[in-house]
A and B are shown apart, each in its own frame.
Chain A
Amino acid sequence: MTQKYADLTPIMYPKSVAIIGATDNTGKIGNIIMRNYIDVGFSGKIFPININSQGSILGFKAYKSVLDVKQNIDLAVIAIPAQAVPAALEECGKAHVKGVVVISAGFAEVGNVDLEKELERVAKKYALPVIGPNCLGVMDLRSRINTLFLPTFKLDKPKIGNISFVSQSGAVGSAVLDEMMHEGFGLARFISYGNAAVIDEVDVLNYLMHDKETKVIVFYIEGVKRGKEFVEVAKKATKIKPVVIIKGGRSDAGMQAAHSHTAALAGGYEAYDAVFRQFGFTAAKDLKDLLNYAKILSGQPLCTGNRVAILTNGGGMGVLATDALADNDLKQAQLTEASQATLRKTMPPIVNIRLPLDVGGDADDKRFGDALDVIEADPGVDALIVVALFQTPGADSRVAEKLIHHATGMKKPMVVICMGGNFTEMHKIMLESSGVPVYSSPSDAASSLAALISYSRYRQ
Chain B
Amino acid sequence: MQLLDYMQAQKLLQDHGIRSVDSKYVTSADDAAKFASSDAIVLKVISEKALHKASHGLVALNLNSEEKVRSAYKALEIKARDLSPYKVLAQRMVGKGIEIIIGGKTDPQFGKLLLIGLGGTYVEIFKDFALRLCPIGKKDALAMLYQLKSRKMIAPDDKTEKMIVSLLENTSKLFSENKMEELDLNPIILHDGTYDAVDLRMLLQ
The interface of chain A, by Cβ under 8 A from chain B, is 223-224, 227-228, 230-231, 259-263, 265-266, 270-271, 273-275, 277-278
Contact = CB atoms under 8 A, between A and B. Distances in A.
A263 B182 contact: yes
Contacts of B140: 278
A441 to B, nearest CB: 25
Given A277-B132, A278-B140, A266 B107 contact: yes
B117 A265 contact: yes
Contacts of B107: 227, 266, 271
Interface string B102-120: 0111011111010101000
Contacts, number: 75
Given A261-B184, A262-B101, A262-B184, A274 B113 contact: yes
B19 to A, nearest CB: 19
Give me the 6 closest cross-chain CB pairs, A-B, nearest first. Answer: A262-B103, A227-B109, A274-B131, A227-B110, A271-B107, A260-B184
B195 interface: no
The secondary-structure label for the interface of chain B is strand
A262 B182 contact: yes
30 contacts: A223-B109, A227-B107, A227-B109, A228-B110, A231-B110, A231-B133, A259-B203, A260-B184, A260-B203, A262-B101, A262-B115, A262-B183, A262-B186, A263-B103, A263-B182, A265-B115, A265-B123, A265-B131, A266-B103, A266-B105, A266-B107, A266-B115, A271-B107, A271-B109, A274-B110, A274-B131, A274-B132, A278-B132, A278-B133, A278-B143
B111 A277 contact: no
Nearest to B109: A227
B110 A275 contact: yes
A271 B186 CA distance: 20
Contacts of A260: 103, 105, 182, 184, 186, 201, 203
Interface of B: 101, 103-105, 107-111, 113, 115, 117, 123-124, 127, 129-133, 136, 140, 143, 147, 182-184, 186, 201, 203
A261 B108 CA distance: 17
B27 to A, nearest CB: 28
A228 B127 CA distance: 27
Nearest to B101: A261
B132 A266 contact: no
A266 B147 CA distance: 15
Contacts of B203: 259-260
B109 A261 contact: no
Which of A231, A263, A275 has the most B CB atoms < 10 Å from its CB? A263
